[in-house]
Amino acid sequence: MTDPVTIEGATGAVREFDQKRAEDAVRELLIAVGENPDREGLRDTPGRVARAYQEIFAGLWQEPEDVLTTTFDLGHDEMVLVKDIEVTSVCEHHLVPFRGVAHVGYIPSHSGKITGLSKLARLVDVYARRPQVQERLTTQVADSLMRILEPRGVIVVIECEHMCMSMRGIRKPGAKTITSAVRGQLRDAATRAEAMSLIIAR
Ligand SMILES: Nc1nc2c(ncn2[C@@H]2O[C@H](COP(=O)(O)OP(=O)(O)OP(=O)(O)O)[C@@H](O)[C@H]2O)c(=O)[nH]1
Ligand SMILES: [Zn+2]
């Protein structure tokens, strides 16, 4: 059995993803909106939606330490930046997706402790696969990198379009939200400017 990640404010009411409970909830939702969950096309929908949510929220059962396991001492102590990491998360206010890209950079510790490049993208996924707000997603990626790799600095920039702003509500498709979290030496104006120029270069 997977242990749930302790998230501040969460009830921790279940010890593992509760497929039955999720299916029942989707069935109830279909009834509430005026649909018939027993009609042919919807009969398997609660099960499908529940399985989809299990995947979409898989990060609730993962810790960042689970993915930042591979580290190397390469002696490289200058900036490493992976940009345009596709990110899909779910807004915790409306439970609809927000999508875009994340850029994650860090300056390794003097000993040159670095991680595999794919692990930076995996780290983004751990936090993206939870009910989120973009600001928290951004700071969580930055803070966990600082904690685990102990680098001299970190920069995380995330650019997303929120479906809750495009398919409903204010209905402004195309509006992008940009958030950043900058830690350690990357707060220095020149270093930060270097990182930003790499991020915005196309
Ligand atoms: N700061 C922040 N706000 C978000 C994010 N995702 C969605 N929101 C906002 O959360 C707010 C929720 O506002 P409410 O007034 O409680 O909900 P609402 O009546 O559905 O709001 P509208 O979207 O304006 O119709 C909205 O302004 C959303 O745009 C996010 O990642 N960060
Ligand atoms: Zn929303």
CATH number at residue 108: 3.30.1130.10
Are residues 46 and 91 both part of a single domain?
A: no
Cβ atoms of residues 186 and 179 within 8 Å: no
| C-alpha 104 chain-centroid distance | 12
The answer to whether 76 is annotated as binding is: no
The answer to whether 160 is annotated as binding is: no
Residue positions annotated with a catalytic role: 91-94, 134, 162, 164
Inside any domain, residue 129: yes
Are residues 88 and 149 both part of a single domain?
A: yes
Domain range enclosing 52: 19-56
Q: CA nearest 87: which of 21, 187, 176?
A: 176
Burial class (CB in 10 A: 0-12, 13-18, 19+), 132: buried
Per DSSP, what are the bridge partners of residue 121?
none
Using one digit for the tens of pLDDT, what is the confidence trace for 78-129? 999 999 999 999 999 999 999 999 999 999 998 888 999 999 999 999 999 9
**3-state SS, one letter per residue, for 155-184:** EEEEEEEEHHHHCCCCCCCCCCEEEEEEEE
Q: Tell me the ligand closest to 95's alpha carbon.
A: 2
Dist CA 29 CA 40 (whole Å): 17
Hey, what are 97's tokens? 């997706």
Q: Does 113 contact ligand 1 (Cβ within 6 A)?
A: no
What interface predicted TM-score (ipTM) does this complex get? 0.93
Which atom of ligand 1 is nearest the CA belonging to 160?
Answer: 31
Q: Does 90 contact ligand 1 (Cβ within 6 A)?
A: no
The answer to whether 103 is annotated as binding is: no
Inside any domain, residue 168: yes
Kindly state the average pLDDT of the residues 58-71.
92
Cα(83) to centroid of ligand 1, in Å?
27
Are residues 31 and 77 both part of a single domain?
A: no
Inside any domain, residue 9: no
Dist CA 42 CA 77 (whole Å): 55
Which atom of ligand 1 is nearest the CA belonging to 136?
Answer: 31
Cα(115) to centroid of ligand 1, in Å?
35
Dist CA 16 CA 95 (whole Å): 20
Are residues 85 and 104 both part of a single domain?
A: yes
Dist CA 167 CA 143 (whole Å): 32
Tell me how many domains the chain contains. Answer: 2
Domain boundary among 32, 56, 80: 56
Mean residue pLDDT across the chain: 95
Are residues 50 and 116 both part of a single domain?
A: no
Q: Does 170 contact ligand 1 (Cβ within 6 A)?
A: yes
Are residues 44 and 98 both part of a single domain?
A: no
Q: Tell me the ligand closest to 132's alpha carbon.
A: 1
Dist CA 134 CA 146 (whole Å): 19
Inside any domain, residue 7: no
Dist CA 138 CA 158 (whole Å): 7
Using one digit for the tens of pLDDT, what is the confidence trace for 134-163? 999 999 999 999 999 999 999 999 999 999
Inside any domain, residue 78: yes
